[in-house]
Copies of this chain bind each other. A is one copy, B any other.
């Protein structure tokens, strides 16, 4: 566990900074985007120039976050990485900026400490929980837009308050951002109740490949790059499909393997207590949380499956 600075120190640095670039991780999810959006709007409210950069395209459903995207017309003076545990998560377009990050705000226990300063709280369900406190401490009003950004992070990283990372504090912060005007009816509809055609198609294909192992205690699902293309899906359609295998009755370890453009497989591990997902991923050179972890496997599908199942066997 790396050393963390205090909330007060992080806020002091942000308030002193000018021309701030806010970085999101690749394959952006609601927490990296929502937390970055909240920080962006708070910094802009303080009269600062700020913009967001993400290596991968941002799904249109996140348009309401109103992210000002970095356009290279100015030179950042301070770089903040949001919800990014290690430099491998930046992606091509932002990795050079990521390497010189001045500050990282994150909730991953595995944060590698790559930034100049790191504010990390592994007990937070989402980076948005930490960002809520950062913005409160910045003494800038939590507008309805900032509240909606924070609600997006909180709700998406907890599966709408359903996952095991959810705490009493998560609900307290949710209550406060709803009071500040987070548009929870519209956001819940947008984030949890609707599905693109291509998302449905890729789920359909992925679930057709479900295999059960170890007496049904492990379910493994995969999608190849050809299938992703065939479904007309892009990476944003793939967000969250990793929760499908573990949700099956009797399953304690859910594995999702999706092929990347490079041909290698991104492996996502989701477990129920007491199975340690981080140990499974660690055996394959990856990392993550107790219940959710991941790694990348260079090799063909059958080899990748065999390697993953061998690690699962050690934990079951």
A contact residues vs B (CB 8 Å cutoff): 160-164, 166-169, 171-172, 174-176, 178-179, 184-185, 188-189, 192-197, 200, 203-204, 207-208, 210, 212, 216, 244, 246-250, 272-273
Tell me whether A175 and B169 are in contact (CB under 8 A).
yes
- CB-CB under 8 A for A249 and B196, given A167-B178, A172-B171: yes
Given contacts A162-B193, A164-B185, 19 further A-B contacts (CB under 8 A): A160-B160, A163-B188, A164-B189, A166-B184, A167-B178, A168-B176, A171-B172, A171-B174, A193-B246, A193-B247, A194-B247, A194-B248, A195-B247, A196-B249, A197-B212, A197-B249, A200-B207, A204-B207, A204-B208
Q: Complex Cα distance A196/B219, Å? A: 12
Tell me whether B164 and A171 are in contact (CB under 8 A).
no
- CB-CB under 8 A for A188 and B204, given A171-B172, A179-B168, A196-B248: no
Q: Complex Cα distance A169/B193, Å? A: 21
Count identical subunits in the complex: 2
Residue from the set A176, A195, A197, A246 with the largest chain B CB neighbour count within 10 Å:
A197
- CB-CB under 8 A for A171 and B162, given A194-B247, A200-B207: no
Residues of B within 8 A of A210 (CB): 200, 204
Residues of B within 8 A of A171 (CB): 161, 171-172, 174-175, 178
- The 8 A-B residue pairs whose C-beta atoms are closest, nearest first, are A171-B175, A168-B178, A168-B175, A171-B174, A164-B185, A171-B171, A204-B207, A172-B175
A188 partner, pick from B164, B185, B194, B208, beta carbons under 8 A: B164
Residues of B within 8 A of A160 (CB): 160-162
A-B contact pairs, 19 of them (CB 8 A): A160-B161, A161-B174, A161-B188, A162-B193, A163-B188, A167-B178, A168-B178, A171-B172, A171-B175, A175-B175, A189-B272, A193-B247, A195-B247, A197-B216, A200-B210, A200-B244, A200-B248, A203-B207, A204-B210
Least distance between A274 CB and chain B CB atoms (Å): 12
Q: Complex Cα distance A134/B168, Å? A: 21
Q: Complex Cα distance A185/B188, Å? A: 21
Residues of B within 8 A of A212 (CB): 197
Closest chain B residue to A216 by CB distance? B197
Q: Complex Cα distance A176/B175, Å? A: 12
Q: Complex Cα distance A160/B158, Å? A: 11
Closest chain B residue to A203 by CB distance? B207
